[in-house]
Homo-oligomer: A and B are copies of this chain.
Amino acid sequence: MNRKKRWQPLFFYASISGGRTLFFDIILIDWHALKNLFIRCLLHNFTSLFQKYLEEKTELTQAESERIQSFAIIKKLRKRQYLLQEGDVWKYDAFITQGCVRTYTVDEKGGEHVNSFSIENWWTGDRESLMMQQPSRFNIDAIEDTELVLFTHENFELLCREIPAFNNMVNNILQRSFIAAQNRIQASLTLTAEEKYLNFVNKYPGFASRIPQTMIASYLGMTPETLSRIRKQTAKK
């Protein structure tokens, strides 16, 4: 299992009648950037991903769906831009339509500890700050350029009360988040560093190639050096 090289060859060729293949060119291409480009081209309206998510997760009438959309606030983040900074009170429920975001704390020595990653089709934010209306201990910033749909918490609660299907969806997400957190605790208690990494790659395929290793190491509770060595070892096998 070799490290995915960022730049990879792309071959251009044409198949001509008679079975011969005419070779044009090879260029080196950054697959990840290309994929992002495609996704952007396809999404003429980037909230449509949220629309699609709602359709999958819930059964809404047209009116309900429009009601939800009417409360949606669209937000774009450039890479490294903050969504939430430590000390601020978080006031939203946030759904990611495109991109990737990390939630982390900074300790007194300046070390960053990644608490979670969130990508398209996931929710992000600080529930504790939101619920208790207290300053957040977390920072949230964008790992890639990111697009979100925000709801103020008042609107969000209103939607929960008005639309049972929406409420069910929220409940469901919360349960899954809790289960995921439980599993993470379990992993951190029982697994070795190597097992933690393999478990992560296995559970979230795609994350590993998209998120800087330093951050993954932090998420898994180890140093970047250790992760680098583990990757080297596992690549051999």
Partner of A174, one of B105, B171, B184: B171
Which candidate, A12-20, A45-53, A54-62, A175-183, is the interface stretch facing chain B?
A: A175-183
* A229 at interface, CB cutoff 8 A: no
Which candidate, A33-41, A71-79, A186-194, is the interface stretch facing chain B?
A: A186-194
Evaluate whether A128 and B189 lie within 8 angstroms (CB atoms) in the complex, with A171-B171, A174-B171, A174-B175 already known.
no
A174 and B181: CB pair below 8 A? no
User: Which of A113, A182, A221 is most buried by chain B, counting CB atoms within 10 A of its CB?
Assistant: A182
The contact string, 1 if C-beta is below 8 Å from chain B, for chain A 118-147, is: 000000000110010000010000000000
Partner of A181, one of B107, B113, B137, B182: B182
Least Cβ distance of A188 to chain B in Å?
5
- Complex: A128 Cα to B190 Cα, angstroms: 18
- Complex: A227 Cα to B107 Cα, angstroms: 24
Least Cβ distance of A192 to chain B in Å?
11
B185 and A184: CB pair below 8 A? yes
- Complex: A120 Cα to B171 Cα, angstroms: 25
* A115 at interface, CB cutoff 8 A: yes
Q: Which residues of B contact A182 (CB under 8 A)?
A: 115, 127-128, 181
